[in-house]
Amino acid sequence: MSTPALSALIVKAATALKDKPAWGKTLCVDFGSDGVIYVYDNNQVAAIPDANVSADCTLILNGISTLEDLESKKETPTQEWWAGNLTWRGDRSIAEQFVALIQGAK
């Protein structure tokens, strides 16, 4: 499933990773009903059917709006975690790097 917001996020992530050395990590980002994306270790980004995949980190957000709140710094990751809007499995530093990459995308 791909929504306009998810498609825009894929473009934004791909732009942030373009022409950079291979990230070397895999990340699954599950936005619940807003969809799931996968960031491959070679910097490719794509929508996938569900979060039941192997990844160095799986970031689970309560919708794309949670990522937007993190990007705008309206909320901190700790605030989102306490509110139950953000969880992860695996290497948390990868999730943190992803948010930083998205924030840096123009």
What SS3 state is found at 9? helix
What structural domains and CATH numbers belong to the chain? 4-104 (3.30.1050.10)
Task: Tell me the pLDDT tens digit for each residue of 72-88.
Answer: 888 888 888 899 999 99
pLDDT digit string (tens) for 4-14?
889 998 998 89
Beta pairing class for 27-30 and 57-61: parallel
List the beta strands (DSSP E) in 31-78: 36-39, 45-48, 57-61
* Diameter of the chain measured on Cα atoms: 36
Q: How confident is the model at residue 55 (pLDDT cuts 50, 70, 90)?
A: very high
Per the listing, tokens 């306009």 go with 4
Q: Report the residue count for the chain.
A: 106
pLDDT in tens, 9-45: 899 889 988 888 998 999 999 999 999 999 999 999 9
Question: Which carries the bigger pLDDT value, residue 98 or residue 58?
Answer: 58
Chain position carrying tokens 């270790």 = 41
